[in-house]
Every structure is written in structure tokens, then in C-alpha cells.
Amino acid sequence: MNAAVEPAASFTTAGHCPVCAGPAEFVATGPWWRDSFGCTGCGSIPRERALMLTIDRWFPQWREAVIHESSPCHRSTSARLANECPGYIGSQFFEDFPDTPQVNGIRNENLERLSFPDASVDLHVTQDVFEHVLDPDVAFREIGRTLRPGGMHVFTVPLVNKHRPSVTRARVENGEIRNLLPPEYHGNPVGDGRALVVTDWGYDICKRIYQASGLFTHMLHIDDLHHGIRAEYIEILVTVKPTN
């Protein structure tokens, strides 16, 4: 069997950026395209373009919707949603202030205890957040509770286990976090800048979401150089709340 070919560290192509919503040039500056295959116009990376393309196709009325995005990055897809949707609500979770509605003018939302009323949000968006949630089943249930009928949760999360079952790396025991595997961290826009990886997700995530919320989830894998979408861990998940 032939060995897998790694993406080129230097690559340029022209196309149409879903975030810029116009002609664009995409440039890879390293072999890990998930973080290095950028749009020269808006700076978006492949997963962000895949997310925006999916929102445009699956929820085209997003500009008139109530959108909640947890942990937005304030650029790329997050910036476009915020700029073009009057009903956009961005939030962060400030663990040191769990009961404070706002911290430094930023809405404080814990995905495990959302403050939104039942059936009040049209579209939840999360970008690489659910690998860090301590009790993802509760968070999936909360998202289902707060979605309006016909609403969606469109999100990215690294499916690092692919065809293997998801693995819990850490959990809360007696009010303290217990690491079951050596701790691994990603960047975090708040706190000390580190977010503990709690779950190595696999393709069984759709089953977990259904068991937690009763909602079905579509898993999309987009490989589309015209839209600058090619990378590892590029899946987009779309959880849909039925209209009846």
C-alpha cells in the first residue's frame, strides 16, 4: 500500500472564498493545511470556510436569525456573522465568574447551563469548542433545549479518532478535574490562554448527540479546492431540531 502523501508546504490556488463571499487566493504556508491554508483576503482557514459554506447552504436565512456563537474568534466566519446578522450574540465562558452574566462587557455563557429560554435560538455555532466541554452530553442537551423548531447547531470539532470510539481524556470528580490521560491543551481566548482537551472525538459523536438530545446530526466532509476547503479534521456537523 502506498504511503499517504502529505500536503505541500507551499501551494497557491485561486477560487471563491465563502467568508469573503467573492474571488480569492488561497495560500498554504506549511504542511498542516488545517491551520496554514489561508485566504489572502480575510485570513480564514479551511474549517472556517467549510463552516461558512455550510451555513450558507443549510441555513440561508441566517441574516434574519437569532444566532448564538460560543467562543467566537472575532475574525473570519465569526466576524461575518456578527457584521451581517443583527441578531448575532457572541459569548465566552469565564470559569472564574460562573454566575456573572457579563465579564468586561462580554456575555458569559456556560454551554452546560445556557441562560437562553427554551426554543429561543435559531442557530448555535461553535468552532472547535466541544473537545473542551467537561460534560458534552449536558451541553448537547442544552443546545437542543434552546433551539427553536427548525433550528440548527452547525459546528466544527476535531474528529481525531475517526472510525474509533471517542475517548474521554478528563472528567470532573468531587468538584475537581481528573485527567485520565496526559493533559493536552489548545489555545483559549480567555483565562490563562489554555483550554484543556476533554474528549478525543470519533465518528460516534452523532450517536452521542442523539442519546443526549434526541436530535439527529448530519456529518459533512467537504473537499473543495475552489472554495479553499482541503485539510485534515475538516468535518462539519449539523444538528437539526425538527419543526414538529
The model's pLDDT over 157-208, given as tens digits with 9 standing for 90+, comes to 999 998 899 999 999 998 899 999 999 998 777 667 789 999 999 999 999 9
Q: What is the pLDDT of residue 194?
A: 83
Q: What is the pLDDT of residue 10?
A: 85
- Residue 150: which CATH number? 3.40.50.150
Mean pLDDT of the chain: 94
Asked if the structure places residue 38 within a domain, the reply is no
Asked if the structure places residue 130 within a domain, the reply is yes
Query: Please, which pLDDT band fits residue 77 given cuts at 50, 70 and 90?
Result: very high
Asked if the structure places residue 40 within a domain, the reply is no
Tens of pLDDT, residue by residue over 104-158, are 899 999 999 999 999 999 999 999 999 999 999 999 999 999 999 999 999 999 9
Tens of pLDDT, residue by residue over 13-22, are 999 999 999 9
Tens of pLDDT, residue by residue over 14-66, are 999 999 999 999 999 999 999 999 999 999 999 999 999 999 999 999 999 99
- Number of Cβ within a 10 Å radius of residue 110: 19
Domain hosting 96: range is: 46-240
Asked if the structure places residue 221 within a domain, the reply is yes
Measure the CA–CA gap between 67 and 47, rounded to whole angstroms. 19
Q: What is the pLDDT of residue 98?
A: 82
Q: What is the count of structural domains for the chain? A: 1
Asked if the structure places residue 18 within a domain, the reply is no
Torsions phi, psi for 182 (to 5 deg): -55, 130
